[in-house]
Amino acid sequence: MNATLRALLDDGISSVRDLLPIVVVIAIFELFIVKAPIEGLGSLLIGTALVLLGLTFFVFGLRVALFPIGETLAHSLAGKGSVFWLLTFAFVLGFGTTVAEPALIAVAGEASRVAADAGVIETAEESMRRYAFSLRMTVALAVGIALILGVARIIANWSLPKMIIGGYILVVLVTTVAPDEIVGIAYDSGGVTTSTVTVPLVTALGIGLASSLKGRNAMTDGFGLIAFASLTPILFVLVFGVVTQWI
């Protein structure tokens, strides 16, 4: 069998294994707890099959495309010895993959309505759009800066635990002065930024960079970028809320 087809089949088997517990749990609750008839069984089965196919092709695409691209770019930029271009690429990668994230767009839109209801901004649609756009740009900027910090950490071999602990201490301090209506949005922003495209590319970037530097270990030094990508949006959105309140 062709190696590509074999790899695709292996990913399909893995997807079935990963989805099976979810299907079993739903089926048990539906049949024995809810005890309600299953409506649209045919559509449900078709949907499950489509999810299985989608997950299979997604995982396959990550392995054959996104991970190699991220690692290759990291190797190439590190090989050129240009820290500036490496940091620039990290920022553009973080900003570009976040600014168009559908989950972030949805959260920003909902946040604008909450802010309008709380009297932070005017209830006019234009004001709400500007607020949502500003929030998206804030989060995207935060992820871009997060990757700059993460790449700089790998290059300079800074302590990851110290940076993460220090960052969360700062988050807690800013939380105490941030307006109540922005706190939940800020903490949720740390989750919506770790999307299905951002995570593989960022992880591959860290692994590729760590493996291309002498004295670095891809396992111990190549990870941690996602932690920064989750932490900095929380801090930036909290500050965004404080500034918006003052304005």
Neighbours of 64 (CB within 10 A): 14
Residue where the block lists tokens 């593989």: 200
Kind plus residue range of the DSSP H or E element containing 178? none
Q: Report the C-alpha gap between 55 and 61 in whole angstroms.
A: 10
CB of 138 within 8 A of CB of 185? no
Is the pLDDT at 46 greater than 80? The verdict is: yes
**200-227 burial, b for 16+ CB within 10 Å, e for fewer?**
bbbbbbbbbbbbbbeebebeebbbbbbb
Residue where the block lists tokens 């809810």: 34
Confidence at 68, pLDDT banded by 50, 70, 90? confident
Neighbours of 57 (CB within 10 A): 14
pLDDT by residue (tens digit) across 142-198? 999 999 998 898 888 888 899 999 999 999 999 999 888 888 888 888 887 776 667
Higher pLDDT, 150 or 246: 150
For CA atoms 36, 37, 43, 45, the dihedral sign is: positive
Residue where the block lists tokens 């299979």: 56
pLDDT at 234: 93
The values of phi and psi at residue 96, to 5°, are: -65, -40
Interhelix angle 198-212/125-156, nearest 10 degrees: 20
Entry pTM: 0.76
Q: Report the C-alpha gap between 154 and 227 in whole angstroms.
A: 13
Q: Report the C-alpha gap between 189 and 104 in whole angstroms.
A: 7
